Chains A and B, each alone.
Chain A
Amino acid sequence: MNYVIEMLNIRKEFPGIVANDDITLQVREGEIHAILGENGAGKSTLMSILFGLYHADKGTIKVRGHEVHIHNPNDANDLGIGMVHQHFQLVQNFTVTENIILGKEGSFFLDRKSASKRIAALSAQYGLNIDPDMVIEDISVGMQQRVEILKMLYRDANILIFDEPTAVLTPQEIEDLIQIMRNLVNEGKSIILITHKLAEIKEVADRCTVIRRGKLIGVVDVADTSVATMASMMVGRPVSFKVDKKPAQPGRVILEVHDLNVLNNKRLLGVKNFSLTVRAGEIVGIAGVDGNGQSELIEAITGLRNIESGSVIIEGNDITHADVRRRNEMGIGHIPEDRQKRGLVMPARVFENVAIKEYYHPPFSKRGILDADYLAEYAQTVVERFDVRSGEGIYSLAGKLSGGNQQKLIVAREITGTSELLIAVQPTRGLDVGAIEYIHSQLVAHRDKGYAVLLVSFELDEIFNLSDRIAVMFSGELVNVVKTGETNEDEVGLMMAGITGKEAGR
């Protein structure tokens, strides 16, 4: 068997932690090889070693059977190894061509034309559908990713590493990407796919190396292995994909939204005549493709965006024009879409982040003076209850927590605040199976305590798993509200494209 890449008995230690402990990875020519592991399992470290960003303490790397020493990403490029990073490395106001030739400009005089021609040819060969003259800031996230792929191809890479490539994509873009990966393999490239999304591995990968806590757990043929098996290999215990929940017991009305109109950032109506009620003891999921007014709707309800017309009512109190703090006091909890931007103050400590919405009133503070003991005590109970892990406990900087623990911290803060209405936007985005399972169970538990939950997710699985009722949004409008038990993914999927049940032929 021909291996294009062999990483043998790799060990990499960071102070206090063994990131890679005797890991072996063997990738065959022309296969899609997935590396599966939770956040922090050591996937990215392994790939960083292969790409020359870190050096292994022990172990050898072979490319096409020859032992190599990779000191930096340039060495990796010379060996034909290319990487699409999770966060794209593109210059926003350059064109596609300029970005791709950056660092490979050739002679003193820029020859954009021939570069652009070659890029167009590559794009056609692999079905990437990229116009070389477009400017990066004008194209979608999915297209930017394809520019990254083109960048590798332009540098004649034949071993392509994809680091969490679907984290930023819409479902349609994921489909496209999977097709592109198949094209690449058909043209003789080999692919290493780093992910924790099992469905994608099942769909596209040939073999899968599973690692957990820095150790190699096993290598499986994807075709012969069930998703459940891979999940339990990754997490170390059986994982339930279905959320355990009893039928909802809807009570009094908590949130009423009437004829809401909200402008988006382009000063156009992002939410149009939107009305919805959410009752105590139920989870209402808002389904829709990203960018159909969900963000604007949530910002209008939480007070982060002005309302043009219509009203928002919480337990009978009109809060249409109330400020954010007043709404928080009315009992709105909000797990924001972007945890880095809105959810946490990264350079502040965990205990400060836990109290950021409530620090100004007793018992957190008295007459403007913070009660340090109470803050610490409160943070400690919250952190313990939700098992938020960090190096220095409640004194860690929020920015030093792993992504999963950051999200847990936000969920902990919002749920502990006894929110009458909990608004959860993409609460499990980018998290691994274990953390997703945990956060889902917490959301259901919150519902079962008699609180209302409004969920926004771009993942239909999540919507169906959690919601008691599903409200579908398309182009800023409410398409329909359906009970989860009386519909199916196909029907909701059509509604997400703006086609209502009747038009769909029912």
Chain B
Amino acid sequence: MKKTKYRSQSGNAFLVAVSAVILGLIGGAVLMAAIGSNPFMGFYYLFRGGLMNIERIGNTLATATTLMLVGLSVAFAFKTGLFNIGASGQMLIGGLCATLVAHKVFLPRPLFLVVLVASALIGGALWGVIPGFLKARFNVHEVVATIMMNWIAYWSIYYFVPAYLKGPSLETESASIAISQSLRAPWLTKLFNGSYINYGFFIAIVCVIIIRFVLDKTTLGFGLKAVGSNRWCAEYAGIKVNRNVVISMMIAGGLAGLAGLTFYTGYSRNMQIGVMPAQGFDGIAVALLGASNPLGVLFSSLFFGILQSGKGFMNAMTSVPPEIADSIIAVIIYFTATSVLFQRFWDRIARRRGSRRADQREEE
């Protein structure tokens, strides 16, 4: 009885997400038809591009890995009532720390991987904790502070990479990391026929499990959620609001730092200067579609991963431009953001089914 109540709530979020996705796809189909392409062919190649063989599946998973970690970062901050728009900067700094380690630190492989992961975690956490502190101490809005931190990271990379990590040929990107110093694993590459998939995928899955546990089962998560849902009540109950804000931003930053790790030392193996990673913002979409729930983030990042890695193939095989895939994402976000409408719709369906729930207390 109790358990089903819980399920009915998350089931609702699931239906909302699915409705948004379907409407997003319909929106994409309309767009394709409007430019004179065949939507069925468009979608066929879009999904084929993401899933048609083992290599492409591997690439889709590698793309989804970064989105998953950024989505988790944004979702975690959401739970504490914070809007982490600085995942891009946290990714860059996490990636920079990891790239430095990859180039300069030589240790036995297992130990090396631990140091690599820790460096990105710490770098990202540092980049998250600064806006957290500014919010807690001086009430600087985190949206402003994190955007500033994005640009500080961007320009730091711009100068740091050419100065210390320059590649042999190009001024604009760092030297390529040796496979043995990256997150890539020969057995994985081989298993997926030479795709970009790497250990980052397992790191992301472990993070989903850990974050889910932290939010649902620990006192830390309890306090964070209380602050996020009603800071006045949290304060009244003796929960330290400011400390929780700092902790939340630290953890969110650390997760985004790990996203940078998987992207810069796994998916690609170098850092380009002058590029703000778009995943930092796509992660907001992932978190929204996933209803800020770790499991939801897992699935929505996989879905967005398919769209992202399939759009190039769609463009190559049809006359549909790759921006259609981005438009589909945009339409999905639009419908997720207006999810209240779906919620009402599905609530009504549920009630029609004659479920006699007494929670419908009279509207006083």
Contact = CB atoms under 8 A, between A and B. Distances in A.
B235 interface: yes
Nearest to A360: B219
B238 A391 contact: no
A54 to B, nearest CB: 8
Contacts of A302: 236
Interface string A30-52: 00000000011011110010000
B236 A392 contact: no
B236 A342 contact: yes
A346 B361 CA distance: 15
B238 A328 contact: yes
A413 B331 CA distance: 45
Nearest to B355: A15
A23 to B, nearest CB: 13
A369 interface: yes
Interface in B204-236: 217-220, 222-223, 225-226, 229-230, 232-236
A15 B226 contact: no
Interface in B303-334: none
Given A352-B222, A356-B233, A395-B5, A16 B357 contact: yes
B96 to A, nearest CB: 32
A343 B236 contact: yes
A15 B220 contact: no
Interface in B323-351: 351
A357 B222 CA distance: 11
B220 to A, nearest CB: 6
A132 B24 CA distance: 50
Contacts of B233: 341-345, 356
Interface stretch (A1-9, A184-192, A201-209, A398-406): A398-406
Interface string A282-326: 000000000000000000001110000000000000000001111
A40 B364 CA distance: 6
B218 A342 contact: no
B6 interface: yes
B356 interface: yes
A393 B5 CA distance: 10
User: Looking at B229, B230, B232, B235, which has the most chain A CB atoms within 10 Å of its CB?
Assistant: B230
Give the size range of A's interface with the partner: 35 or more
B34 interface: no
B220 A392 contact: no
User: Looking at B6, B235, B356, B364, which has the most chain A CB atoms within 10 Å of its CB?
Assistant: B364
A352 B216 CA distance: 11
A368 interface: yes
B237 interface: yes
A190 B363 CA distance: 26
B222 A346 contact: no
Contact of A334 (B220, B229, B236, B362): B236
Contact of B232 (A43, A341, A359): A341
Contacts of A402: 361-362, 364
Given A348-B229, A368-B219, A400-B361, A15 B351 contact: yes
A370 interface: yes
B2 interface: yes
B217 A369 contact: yes
A119 B222 CA distance: 52
Contacts of B220: 368
B230 A17 contact: no
Give the size range of B's interface with the partner: 20 to 34
A347 B219 contact: no
A345 B236 contact: no
A356 to B, nearest CB: 4
A343 B237 CA distance: 9
A142 B361 CA distance: 30
B169 interface: no
A14 interface: yes
A416 interface: no
Contacts of A344: 230, 233
A336 B357 contact: no
Nearest to A334: B236
A370 B219 contact: yes
A396 interface: yes
A372 interface: yes
A345 B238 contact: no
Contact of B237 (A43, A324, A365, A395): A324
B218 A391 contact: no
B190 interface: no
Given A45-B362, A346-B230, A357-B238, A370 B5 contact: no
Interface in B224-260: 225-226, 229-230, 232-240
B165 to A, nearest CB: 39
Given A368-B218, A395-B2, A16 B236 contact: no
Contacts of A43: 364
Nearest to A396: B359
Interface in A171-192: none
User: Looking at B225, B238, B240, which has the most chain A CB atoms within 10 Å of its CB?
Assistant: B238
B363 A44 contact: yes
B356 A395 contact: no
A42 B362 CA distance: 8
A422 interface: no
B357 A345 contact: no
Contact of B219 (A324, A342, A365): A365
B236 A304 contact: yes
User: Looking at A302, A346, A368, which has the most chain B CB atoms within 10 Å of its CB?
Assistant: A368
Given A341-B233, A344-B233, A17 B360 contact: yes
Interface in A384-440: 390-393, 395-396, 400-403
B4 to A, nearest CB: 10
B364 A14 contact: no
B360 A16 contact: yes
B170 interface: no
B111 interface: no
Contacts of A396: 359
B39 to A, nearest CB: 39
B235 to A, nearest CB: 7
B236 A15 contact: no
Nearest to A365: B219
A336 B17 CA distance: 38
A376 to B, nearest CB: 8
A84 interface: no
A407 B78 CA distance: 28
A403 B364 contact: yes
A19 interface: yes
Nearest to A20: B362
A347 B237 contact: no
B359 A400 contact: yes
B234 A391 contact: no
Contacts of A369: 217-219
8 contacts: A14-B360, A15-B360, A323-B240, A328-B237, A334-B236, A336-B236, A341-B232, A356-B239
User: Lowest 5 A-B CB distances belong to which pairs?
Assistant: A391-B359, A325-B238, A324-B238, A391-B358, A342-B236
Given A344-B230, A346-B230, A392-B357, 20 more contacts: A16-B356, A17-B361, A40-B364, A324-B238, A325-B238, A328-B238, A341-B230, A341-B233, A342-B235, A345-B230, A345-B233, A345-B234, A347-B230, A348-B230, A352-B226, A365-B218, A369-B219, A391-B357, A395-B5, A402-B361
